[in-house]
Structure 1
Amino acid sequence: MKADIQYCLSKKLWDPQTNGNYRDMVRKSAMKASGAVKAPPELKRSLSLPLLTLYGLGVTIGAGIYVLVGTTAARAGIYAPISFLLAAVVVGFTSFSYSELSTRYPVSAGEAEYVSKGLKLRWLSVVIGLMVVASGVVSSAAISIGAAAYLQGFFPLSLDLLTALVVIAVGMIAAWGIFESVFIAAILTVIEITGLGLVVYYGIAYKPDIWTELDTLIPPFDAAVWSGILSASLLAFFAFVGFEDMANIAEEVKQPQKNLPRGILLTLGIATLIYFVVVAVIVLVVPMTDLASSAAPLRLVLETAGTIPTIIFSVIAVFATINGVLIQIIMASRVIYGLAAQKNLPALFAYVSPITQTPLVATLAVVCVVLFLAYFLPIDQLAEATSTIVLIVFCFVNLSLLRIKLSKTPTEGDAFIVPIFVPVLGFIFSVLLLLVGLLPI
């Protein structure tokens, strides 16, 4: 056994500082190396930095812009772009916290592991892991409704039936394989970014002097105005839900210590830029009454360009929203798998198919819950519930990193290190946005 342990240490398969959660991996790796037993199937490291970044952009962009711009504008009015910027600030500090923690502990069910290491409360880490799963399934339910709304433009079927077909089809793709499903998601991400480019292009073509009106996006110092902006920020925050998903597929990322921080920060930066430009064009082109009441808000911009661009964009919007559902289902199933692998959930959920190398039982469970939620809750409630759950998780993740830093826990390998004020501000901003959710709309 001593020789096996030495083998694991030499191959950097065992971190002595965190051996509590890696013992099973050490034992399996050692036994596999010695030829004692055949190791069970494991998740496959297939994701490079470009695929990882496209994965994050896919869930972030598809979830927020294509579905919730109208709902956000209903609260913030023409100042909706400011709500997105405020949400980006909240997410920004927490994204740096995730960048460090994901390189310290590159495992599935990342948030649960972070809380376990930082706050030393196993029950709390399980609760946080389940909350992450909840955010994924609730978010998937919200986006699937949006996808079905866009599909109704092509198929005269009920919204409920289309929603069910979307979720089932996406669940089958998620079970296919991590490389295959993320590769498909990457293609869909490129398509959906192209769709946003069409929105900006036709919006400017319809109103060429739009840039002279940018100063109208600056809100006055008025309590009522800022109350609406802050309230809308909680919904806008939903648009940024996604970057943290990359931490939960860490076991399937190549060179996670290097690629995870880069992927997280690239996703946040690109998404913020795209959001501000697209939302600014939309609120300056589309009448606010039409925008606030639309279930497919971006399509309204293309209606000024004629039938063909509208049809093209509607097809793109379908792909974009389906992409968001796909990536959230992948994330939630990996967290369930990770919790089961850490023996915090029944071992059945840790089953990995030897054929697809994906957690099939966990994926099936996620699909069933998504279907249930999509049938019984409206899209705005689902989005706000997702934002609230994720913000609570962010609070505990930032607290965990703060505790780790204060305890001077040593790092192993090339961890991405941030200053101590980062988790402090990440926690403060997350709490403030949570309190904003209590404001009257």
Structure 2
Amino acid sequence: MTAADGSLQRRLNLTDAVVVGLTAMLGAGVFGAFGPAAAAGASGMLVGLAVAAVVALCNATSSARLAAVHPESGGTYVYARHRLGPFWGYLAGWSFVVGKTASCAAMALTFGAYAAPGHERLVAVLAVVALTAVSYRGVERTARVGRVVVALTLATLTVVVVAALAGGTASADHLRPFPGADARGVLQSAGLLFFAFAGYARIATLGEEVRDPARTIPRAVAVALGVVLGVYAVVATSALLAVGPDALATSAAPLRTVVEAGAFGAVAPVVRVGAAVASLGALLGLGLGVSRTALAMARDGHLPGALSAVHPRFRTPHHAELAVAAVVVVLVLAVDLRGAIGFSSFLVLTYYALANASALRMRPDERRPARGVPVLGLVGCATLALTVPPAAVAGGAVVLAAGCVAWAVRRR
């Protein structure tokens, strides 16, 4: 299929794909999810981080192997449709589009909390509008912006770690009692922190825009996930040592709180700017994934056909991008950060459970992962999905039920 007949163009190389994954993950976890995770698991959020990382690694391995065989836009929506059947593909796509739209709202609110405390929602709406204008004009432009975002984010996190460890407040006493929560609290923190790892899916959902996807996607997923895990572990440990879980749990901008607590409080404005930029990067990467999955579902008739349009000049799914932006704006005005993260985590874990189930159906000649990997990923996703806050589980269940009803009505 060529660009002339409605497909996207393969413009992204390995570096571009890694950058897309990093921009989607770094801003989400470091600046947004640590607060809710600390509220759920106290110092045990470090254990939760390790659990979330193991589940994410299983999911990433399954997704990367599937993406190499099915290099199309849509991610698990495409894999489950081919491997499990049309309904399961539809349910995966439905979970992803709704869950990641909530993630976009969470990242916009995180940006607002750092950039303009007290005016979070207004600033978040303006950010959604601005980034939609960037992604509308092409994925190459988006990748270039992403490189700048990743560099600024890593520089900011270096400042945070130095301020946390050398600011005079770091103490092992802040970790006592460890883990400080029961097993359910630790698992709930893992479910919330999984939100921070899920950005590697942006790489797989760009399968139709990546050069040599069979080689590029698995490598890009592994590199991006490894970098982010290392960064998360260092920053989370430093933050807990500096101020303890209680201070993180009660802050809308936890890393700003870490810096302001010590002798390096003067650099807090720098951290605010860096955090705001990182959140924008995550929002940019998330929007890419949601719009591409919406494009794939619209092509198959599961969403309105207008969303399958590809811009004749920029070769982007511009109608889908505009529709996603409109829904994100509504959510930004209606929900809070913790609710958005929990709701998103439940639906995205459902999505990855279906990715692992799809990987179990791969043949040996397709380089399927070792059987234990998708099995562990499937069990892990199901467990963490049921341990996120009860309101998020209930809301996610309602969304899944609504999707099933919509499927049944359409089939009839």
TM-score calculated relative to the size of structure 1: 0.83
Task: Name the CA distance, whole Å, in 1 between partners of 2:350 and 2:6.
Answer: 33
Q: CA deviation at 1:297?
A: 0.7
Question: Which of these residues, 237, 241, 260, is aligned with residue 194 of structure 2?
Answer: 237
2-structure distance, mates of 1:332, 1:231:
25
Q: CA deviation at 1:319?
A: 0.4
Summarize the alignment of residues 18-37 of structure 1 with structure 2, pairs less than 5 Å apart. Answer: 25=1
Runs of 4+ with deviation above 6 angstroms = 438-441
Alignment of 1:248-397 (within 5 A): 248-303=205-260, 304-306=262-264, 308-397=266-355
Partner Cα distance (1:117, 1:331) in 2:
19
Task: Give the TM-score taking structure 2 as reference length.
Answer: 0.89
Q: Does 1:85 align with 2:42?
A: no
Query: 2:75 touches 2:201 (CA, 8 Å); kept in 1?
Result: no
Q: Which amino acid aligns with 1:386?
A: S
Question: Aligned-pair distance for 1:275?
Answer: 0.7
Query: Are 1:349 and 1:359, in contact at CA under 8 Å, matched by a contact in 2?
Result: yes
Residue in 1 aligned with 2:93? 129
Q: Does 1:174 align with 2:135?
A: yes
Instruction: State the distance in 1 between where 2:289 and 2:145 align.
Output: 15
Aligned to 2:396: none
Matched-pair contact (CA < 8 Å) for 1:79–1:217? no
1:69 is matched with which residue: 34, 48, 72?
A: 34
Which residue in 1 is equivalent to 2:106? 142
Question: Distance in 1 between the 2:170 and 2:274 partners?
Answer: 27
1:299 shift after superposition: 0.9
CA contact (8 A) 2:200 2:224 kept: yes
Within-5 A mapping of 1:77-226: 77-120=42-85, 122-152=86-116, 158-207=119-168, 213=172, 216=175, 219=178, 224-226=181-183
| CA gap 1:214/1:197 in 2 versus in 1, 3 angstroms | farther
In structure 2, the residue corresponding to 1:109 is in which secondary structure?
coil
Deviations 1:39-71 (A, max 9, x none): 335312121111211211111110111012122
CA distance in 2, matches of 1:230, 1:127: 25
- Of 278-287 and 339-348, more deviation after overlay is shown by 339-348
Q: Which runs of 5+ in 2 are unaligned?
A: 393-412
Q: How many residues end up aligned between the 2 structures?
A: 391
Which structure 2 residues correspond to residues 18-57 of structure 1 after superposition, within 5 A?
25=1, 39-57=4-22
CA deviation string 1:410-431 (max 9, x = no partner)? 54xxxx5422222112111111
Structure 1 gap segments, 5+ residues each: 1-24, 30-37
Partner of 1:16: none
SS of equivalent to 1:252: coil
- RMSD over aligned CA atoms reads 2.3
Match of 2:378 in 1: 427
- Measured in 1, the distance between the counterparts of 2:333 and 2:34 equals 22
Equivalent pairs: percent with the same residue? 28
Residues 315-343 of structure 1: CA deviation (Å, up to 9, x unaligned): 11110111111111111111111222334
Q: Are the equivalent residues in 1 in contact too, given 2:174–2:245 (CA < 8 A)?
A: no
Distance 1:290 1:438 in 2: 20
One-letter code aligned to 1:249: L
CA contact (8 A) 1:150 1:296 kept: yes
- Counterpart code for 2:133: M
Check whether the contact 2:109–2:337 (CA below 8 A) recurs between aligned residues: yes
Q: Deviations over 1:252-304 (max 9, x none)?
A: 11111111001111111111111111000101101443322111110122222
